[in-house]
Structure 1
Amino acid sequence: MSQPINDQSDVITELKSLIRQLQDENKELIRSFDFLSSQWEEERKRSKVLEEMVGDLSKENQMLRKDVDGLKLTLNKEESKRIFVDEELTKETYQLFKHSRQLKGVGYKYVWHREGKILARKNDGSDIIFIRNVNQVNDLLK
């Protein structure tokens, strides 16, 4: 609509053109929305599978820990001989744990992991901090 419209037929023609253009843009938006919806659904399914896998590993670790505790009772009559079993961490979680251990140098007394989670505590009476990512560790190191 860059030029002034002189008669009614020009107005109708211009309106029809605008309607077609809007319909085309609407179709493109619908296609984009459908694509994003399908991608989101696939990602949701994938994350559900990953959550189940992590849950299964956590349950397996708990069962193994119970077995080890039972073995400790039968085999470990002497308190001086201790048995330690370390649970497996994913590569990313292990890297986060290694980075988190730097907190011991800035006043944190305890940094440990349990059931795939990294935890830290300043002293015996303080709250336990659940470490989620490297940025959180870097903030605590400041």
Structure 2
Amino acid sequence: METETATRWLSDAEQCAWRTYVDVKSLLTNQLEKDLQPFGLTINDYEILVNLSESAERRMRMSDLAGATLQSKSRLSHQITRMEAAGLVRREHCESDRRGLFAVLTDHGMETMQKAAPLHVASVRRHFIDLLSPEALADLSQSLTPVAEHLRGQRGKI
């Protein structure tokens, strides 16, 4: 039988840091979503378009795309269905693996991303990058890297 350990409650400073992070994550995501709305895109749509645009032949296996975008295969499948209806992507069967599917960026999807990208980058700058000094950005990146590495290691674990 495992022994119960006492809860390590957050200190005031830890609670402040945590709540600030949660607020920034939510507020920034909402703002970036709002700025992508004129293009009919969500932040997840945009991330998919970017991944596909940077891939060879503008296509990726669905399982690889799910991993790259940190989405479940089921959630990604629903999202790709919606994006297919908008003409942004299409699915193709994998000739070497009959069970495999590729998500392929359409010309319309590439054009949409190319129109959205300059405004998205400007939004990221306006609402995040330009509000922090180069030193603060470097500190933030250095501070969050161990968290990201830890969480990547937790993916797939139950």
TM-score above 0.5, yes or no: no
**TM-score normalised by the chain length of structure 1:** 0.30
RCO greater where, 1 or 2, for CA within 8 Å and sep 6 or more?
A: 2
**TM-score normalised by the chain length of structure 2:** 0.28
Compare CA radii of gyration and give the structure with the larger one: 1
